[in-house]
Structure 1
Amino acid sequence: MKRQRGHKARLCLTPAQALAAEEQGHAARAMWNLVHDWWTMLPEERRNLAAADTAIRQGRRDLPWLGVLPAQAAQAVLKTYFQAWKNCWEGRAQAPNFKGRSRSRMAVDIPQGRDLQIVRLNRRWGRMWAPKIGHLLFRWTKDLPVGKRADKENRVTGARLVKEADGWHVVFRVQSDVPGPAPHTGPTVGIDRGITKPLALSDGTFREHRPWLSSGEAERLRRLEKTKERGRRARKPGERNSRRLKRTYDQIARLRATAKRRAVDWQHKTTTEIAGMFSRVGVEDLAITHMVRSARGTVETPGRNVRQKAGLNRAIAAEAWGRTVTMLEYKSADRGGSVVKVPAPNTSRRCSACGFITPGSRETQARFVCKNPSCGFEANADTNAGRNIDHAAGQAVSGRGDFGIARSAKRQPPTQPHAA
């Protein structure tokens, strides 16, 4: 079967190459905004790809500064914009909007893989070609299907240059032909996601991590945040940010990028281990966007415990639960397993041994003791929730739907033995 994957590598650019890449990134953002204005001003019957392509070609002739963007990269901007509207029409995303200079990430597409001219120089470094920039060095951390190893089924189909807080990166689009996975024969597991215990498995084990930033880095981030707020208060309304304030913003962004990079690394390693061990992974179908909404309320009905809720929202966002599930889904599919999403209500309140929900069973945040006189099951509260998720995953057919019993039922006996 054909498999499409992305591979991200860090670029090592000279000052001239970095300047050229930034000019192309700004031109690509401006091209998006021009296409957006042109598209929204036209009547619906005149909106089509052919007319947009003609407008882009005319714009590149009329505006010389758009010429720094290669023609294929400009066409990629148009295709991406049109795909954004298709995603909106099909209900998968919101409508595309204007890209602000400070709120958008600079990116330049290289849609044709044959233009990249990828060569491995040594064990650590590779070289690629970027139109109107030249040969670029990148960190070689994964074997790519290039040279004699490349064919019609296994090749690099394109790339994108992306600027992040810690510098420029390249994301290769890699197509490979791999054999279909054999059915996974391992046990099943349920996973409860949380803050204190990031991942609690139904077999009684936990997957934990240290803080993403060391104590010194966290203190430095706190001081930079205070410096940023002082600079913002000193700035007059409508006045541009000073160079010092911009430098502070950049330092904060680099520290947060470091934390994210460590978090993604831990998630990749942990999900790879779980996908290799278990044939079926059950997770709660959480509406995370609703969970991290602010508690401020309105002027008429102000919210309560706003600061505490804000802290909880930051903790949930730092764990990136959705990204963990996304990684589990494609890694489990590659290994012949599956990920099943089950309804979240009562997974932490129901006893995983007898199936009853009795008041007061959740004695503390970390301890579950069943109050059913004929049961008395005791376990870690997160482990109990993981066991319930695993039981429900055996019956679930879709997320946020019923899985064989009524939602109002007070008892859900396990239908299969736990795979601990």
Structure 2
Amino acid sequence: MTSDQSAELGVELKRQRGHKALLDLTPTQLWKIEDQGHAARAMWNLLHDLWTMTPKCQRSLARMDAEIRRARKEVDWLAALPAQAAQQVLKTYMRAWSNCWEGRAEAPTFKARFRTRAAIDIPQGRDLRIKRLTRRWGQVWVPLVGLVRFRWTKDVPVGKRADKDNRITGARLVKDHTGWHIVFRVRTEVEEPKPHAGPGVGIDVGVTRPLALSDGTFRDHDEWLTPKEKERLRRLERTRERQKSHRKPGDKTSSRLARTNHRIAGYRARAKRRTLDWQHKTTTGIAEQFGIIGVEQLNITNMVKSAKGTTEEPGKNVRQKAGLNRSISGEAWGRSVTLLEYKLADRGGHLVKVPAPNTSTRCHACGFITEGNRESQAVFVCKNETCRWSGNADTNGSFNIEIATRKQTPQDIVGVRTWSLSQWAGQEASTTGDPHTRAKGFHRL
């Protein structure tokens, strides 16, 4: 059944989303949740030590489960973590190993206290007992804590609105700089969207211009922190390094250093909130305008690796590479693609990931590739004497992404839609190679 036929028949789809809300905790409730967060982290570390020290022939899920039950009976502070939350720690740990074995992630490691975000799972949605109190406040039941108020910013299926297809399936308590939050897992039943009739476009991500579209437009943003905020952050970071220099390894963190770390985390959290706000608004606008979007399939993890090298073979331009890595991480390209992917799916659109090699060095107009095509980070000038196309380098990359998207998109999805490339490129790049041009150091698309 095609998407058109399913849309006509009104096929229902189950969609799961997360909704994050701020908790309003009393001092006693805060103390209890903090204990649960530390117990969950310690449970992970104990499981990791047990797993790595146990011979491979004796490792099993049943043994790990039995050890958890025994530890909660014998260790008082581990009993602060509810039984279901402890079982969820085990499930998460085993899932981490499955992801490692299947090549999707690195092996799970020890969770340090000050580098790990505290989290507590409430796997059963029926235990939450969610109730709306006022226009701005709701109430939820947290195991071993009691009834806790949370900020009501979005309607969720509770009470008479909840059924087997529209309900909250569970939640997770998470902690960040602003305090403890609860993240609800909301499952709803929606009709399959009709095919998006919007045009197709290619998007190139960058540092100087965050998003360059093949229709010739850009999606830019201001700095995440104002100049004054950046200066305050820089001074705080210098203060932190000075305070850390007086701290011996193994000593307890001083109150002054803890205060400095808290203020630094506040500025970074503010920058992240502004980043998320811009990304959500921008990707929503793009998903509503375009039906097919092509992006590069980038391995961002490899792109932001350090250039320090080793003692025998030290790296070059280490400081410059570190600055580029910070800029790439600050733009959060992977999150933008993730937001585009699910927002397009909700609107009947499609996201196509194309290979990244040569998209920045290939001329979209003639298809030739040379090492000197990109004169700078922002300017592209084709060195082919018969072409000599020049323009913004990111825009040229988005043109190449659009060409590759058109070739990879199935014909039944393309349908009758417009593409932006026709108004920019004089002729579409050829897909055949020319031995004569290759001998000169040129390659066609």
Scaled by the length of structure 2, the TM-score of the pair is 0.87
Q: Deviations over 1:370-391 (max 9, x none)?
A: 3444434333221111111111
Q: Match of 1:325?
A: 337
Query: Aligned to 2:323, which of 284, 287, 311?
Result: 311
The 5-angstrom pairing of residues 399-418 of structure 1 reads 410-412=443-445
Distance in 2 (CA, whole Å) between partners of 1:52 and 1:363 is 58
Q: Which amino acid aligns with 1:307?
A: R
Map 1:240-389 to 2 at 5 A.
240-357=252-369, 360-389=372-401
Q: Which amino acid aligns with 1:222?
A: R
1:52 and 2:64 are equivalent in the alignment: yes
| Residue identity opposite 1:81 in structure 2 | Y
Deviates more, 1:36-45 or 1:105-114: 36-45
* Partner SS for 1:178: strand
TM-aligned CA distance change 1:42 to 1:237, over 3 Å: closer
Equivalent residue for 2:116? Answer: 104
CA shift in 2, pair 1:78/1:365, >3 Å: closer
Alignment partner of 1:181 out of 193, 196, 201: 193
In percent, how many aligned pairs have the same letter?
64
Aligned equivalents of 2:309 and 2:46: distance in 1?
37
For each residue in 1:195-239, what CA deviation from the matched residue of structure 2 results, as whole angstroms up to 9, or x when unmatched?
A: 110001111111111111122211111110010010111222332
- 1:191–1:283: 8 Å Cα contact kept in structure 2? yes
- Higher alpha-carbon deviation: 368-377 or 50-59: 368-377
Q: CA deviation at 1:358?
A: 5.0
The verdict on how the C-alpha distance between 1:370 and 1:239 changes in structure 2, with shifts beyond 3 A counting, is same
Residue in 1 aligned with 2:244?
232
Secondary structure of residue in 2 paired with 1:64: coil
Say whether the 8 Å CA contact 1:181–1:335 is kept in structure 2: yes
**Aligned amino acid, residue 189 of structure 2:** D
**Which 5+ residue runs of structure 2 have no aligned equivalent?**
1-12, 411-429
- With over 3 angstroms needed to count, the CA separation of the structure-2 counterparts of 1:299 and 1:119, relative to structure 1, is same
Distance 1:86 1:348 in 2: 36
- How far apart, in 2, do the equivalents of 1:363 and 1:296 lie? 27
Contact 2:203-2:294 within 8 A present in 1 as well: yes
Q: Which residue of 2 aligns with 1:131?
A: 143
CA distance in 2, matches of 1:82, 1:359: 47
**Is 1:221–1:252's contact at 8 Å kept on the other side of the alignment?**
yes
Matched AA of 2:102: E
Cα 1:404/1:97, change in 2 over 3 Å: farther
AA aligned to 2:125 is G
CA contact (8 A) 2:432 2:444 kept: no
Mean Cα deviation higher: 238-247 or 167-176: 238-247
RMSD: 2.0
CA distance in 2, matches of 1:410, 1:142: 54
2:128 aligns to what? 116
- The secondary structure found in structure 2 opposite 1:355 is coil
Amino acid at match of 2:390: E
Shift of 1:323: 1.0
Checking the alignment, whether the CA contact within 8 Å between 1:359 and 1:371 is kept in structure 2 is no
TM-superposed deviation, 1:9: 1.4
Partners of 2:373 and 2:297 in 1: CA distance:
23
Residue in 1 that maps onto 2:100: 88
- Give the structure 2 partner of residue 141 of structure 1: 153
The secondary structure found in structure 1 opposite 2:174 is strand
Q: Residues 36 and 120 of structure 2 are in contact (CA less than 8 Å); yes or no, is this contact kept in structure 1?
A: yes
Contact kept in structure 2, 1:395 and 1:404, CA below 8 Å = no
Q: 2:229 aligns with which of 203, 217, 221?
A: 217
Structure 1 residue 312: deviation in Å? Answer: 0.8
Of 84, 88, 91 in structure 2, the residue corresponding to residue 76 of structure 1 is 88
The answer on whether the counterparts of 2:431 and 2:444 sit within 8 Å (CA) in structure 1 is: no
Q: 2:214 — aligned with what?
A: 202
**Counterpart pick for 1:396 among 399, 405, 408:** 408
Choose 152-161 or 97-106, whichever is displaced more: 97-106
In structure 1, how many angstroms separate the alpha carbons of the residues matched to 2:94 and 2:28? 32
Under a length normalisation based on structure 1, what TM-score does the superposition of the two structures give? 0.92
In the alignment, residue 265 of structure 2 is paired with which amino acid? Answer: A
CA contact (8 A) 1:195 1:315 kept: yes
Shift of 1:154: 0.7
The CA distance in 2 between the partners of 1:258 and 1:355, in whole Å, is 43
Residues 410, 81 of structure 1: CA spacing in aligned structure 2 closer, same or farther, 3 A cutoff? same
SS at match of 1:2: strand
Q: After TM superposition, give the deviation of residue 110 of structure 1 in Å.
A: 0.6
* AA in 2 matched with 1:302: P
